[in-house]
A and B are shown apart, each in its own frame.
Chain A
């Protein structure tokens, strides 16, 4: 004997043109089914989530939560190249060790520029290096041209 689904059994008598009261009862049943399904999932997910949080606490994982409604990273932001990441890490490393020292520099550049240059030099020569001077290159446009080419080539031509 084929088993009949309970909901189908309950509403098997819904006519083709139901009366208003029948229609109301039908809608309430439908909403109940949806709420039971999603509410049940909510309960299950809470239990599963609690288990995972508990397991995280046991292994000593510290979850650093961002501040409330912190802005998410922009979706279209370019992924940083490994070298950039290395430079930034090296900058932090050098800054924390207090080993980066710029003896002479042009005053208009922001301090972060010197930090990045110092980090780049540190990465390149893998040792303690003293940077004697930092000055902007105005005469040679090659780097600017290369940067422009890189930006243009990153966009799809339609």
Chain B
């Protein structure tokens, strides 16, 4: 009787549990705590944490069993193998004996085998950008286009972290995937990692989204360190009104220029600007509402869980993950500093029309949290100084800047 019972236990999931899986359960628990209790990016951290938990359970029918040694799931790849087998029983049909039988091996996966195709085939990040475009008002950027430079300067962290990761032993492709964390743009980080270093996708995505949620904690000390009290109370000129036609032209111009300059970021830029064009043209209300709500919500759910499912213990519990988490902070810090310092430089070059350096930190593209941090930080020193709309300019410029930087990495390393 006991033998039968133990034999049965061997067929259950308990027999497949490892200590690494238990550690990952704890990691999932921490992520869920951050999301639910602390409210850090819950829309993304909850699906990611849940996916990470599922990835470390001995599930059946959720993913395929095709897990490569480096931790990358070969999802829904229908492996078709042709075996030339000399078959004696049908050989008689062909006098020459050259008849061959082909055996086709077909690897079929479970539910997330197919849903994860959105990550693997790089469908989800651009489609999420469609929703982001539909949600974003580029008016503040159009009204004050010089803030594009702040968005560009805030990409400093990406490139500095690239060097740091390289020095820590990562390859050039892996370093680019880690550096993009500094852009504070989750979909772009996933897009780039999946292209250049899919084995780091889980760690990079978790680091990117975790740090995005920690923007209100990471940025203010750096902003205070790099600015004087006098600079923090600078009042900026009010933004001019921007017409609908100007916004439509902006979407087309940005798309054309960026695609021409970095064709490898086309998918992101095109979808971002399509979403924004739909929003601004004001005749596609249903499409805009779908992009702003249903499409982005469904994709966020699928993207989050798919990314979480890449956090299998074998690949995630590695020294490299700790290094990535550490490098992520470095990337964020340098990106914040780059934006603030660029704003200070602009004030030196153009003292007649000053920029409050606090809005420089919004150049990292965590929309709209980074802009809100600039505003709140400004109000600490002058309650009547409203920086929010000014900070939205570099904030949305950061989205474009990160996409351009990702395009640069892909064009130089991804071929």
Contact = CB atoms under 8 A, between A and B. Distances in A.
A45 B408 contact: no
B145 to A, nearest CB: 4
A8 B415 contact: yes
A104 B149 CA distance: 63
Q: Which among A12, A31, A36, A66 has the highest number of chain B CB atoms within 10 Å?
A: A31
Contact of A49 (B145, B171, B387): B145
Contacts of B160: 27
B163 A23 contact: yes
Interface in B231-289: 235-238, 240-241, 243, 245-246, 249-250, 253-254, 257-258, 261-263
Interface in A84-98: none
B249 to A, nearest CB: 6
B172 interface: yes
A27 B159 CA distance: 5
A27 B157 CA distance: 10
B152 A38 contact: yes
Contact of B162 (A15, A23, A63): A23
A135 interface: no
Given A15-B172, A27-B160, A49-B142, A38 B386 contact: no
B131 to A, nearest CB: 20
Interface string A10-41: 01101111101001101111110111111111
Contact of B411 (A8, A17, A37, A69): A8
23 contacts: A5-B411, A14-B412, A17-B172, A28-B159, A30-B155, A30-B162, A31-B156, A33-B408, A34-B408, A35-B152, A37-B257, A37-B261, A37-B401, A39-B148, A39-B149, A41-B145, A46-B145, A52-B246, A66-B238, A67-B238, A69-B236, A70-B386, A72-B388
Rank and list the top 5 A-B pairs by shortest CB-CB distance, nearest first.
A45-B145, A27-B159, A38-B152, A38-B148, A11-B412
